[in-house]
Amino acid sequence: MRIAVLALQGAFIEHEMMLERLGAETFEVRKYADWFQQKDALIIPGGESTTMGKILRDEQLLEPIRTAIKEGLPVMGTCAGMILLAKNAAEANGTESGNTRLATMDISVKRNAYGRQLGSFETTAAFKGLGEIPMTFIRAPYIEATHGDAETLATVDGRIVAARQGKQLACAFHPELTESTCLHEYFLSMI
């Protein structure tokens, strides 16, 4: 399996290492031309969603990636990556977030939603089909609501932190920063 990893910014190397541990091949997408290689899936890492959104737009990558996801390319977005997938995103203070996103997934998210003190923490929580898994949150968003056929896969303290819609998987935490490979295995099994 050959997985594209969006490598504009943020925690992409950790995803590559985890996928390679699981026997998948990876390549980095930084520029328009990188995108058109053969691939079975895409990972959008954590980082800063506004920065990544602007680079995606400036590199002319928003449109081809959006089209591929709509046509069924499996995608996993973690943290900032989840924000980029969300159709609706709000800032911590409730104002609407900019629209430089892929906006392919029927979820409403809130950025930096835990506030400064609580924004980064580790916990374990139940993930549908996987049991209890470790979760690392860094200035994390959460999902305020899922819509349509988007399904909640995990909650922490009553807040939705992971969801799936078809071949799209989004999580508010960083599975690539824990020892557990189970979420990446779950994603590979979706492909």
Interacting residues toward ligand GLN by CB under 6 A: 46-49, 79-80, 83, 111-112, 138-139, 141
Nearer to ligand GLN, 8 or 83 (CB): 83
List 16, 79, 171, 184, catalytic entry: 79
List 14, 15, 16, 176, catalytic entry: 176
What residue type is assigned to position 67 of the chain?
Answer: T
**Residue 115 C-beta: closest distance to ligand GLN, Å:** 12
**Residue 118 C-beta: closest distance to ligand GLN, Å:** 13
The question of whether 79 is a catalytic residue gets the answer yes
Nearer to ligand GLN, 90 or 130 (CB): 90
The question of whether 176 is a catalytic residue gets the answer yes
**Residue 97 C-beta: closest distance to ligand GLN, Å:** 8
Which amino acids are annotated catalytic?
79, 174, 176
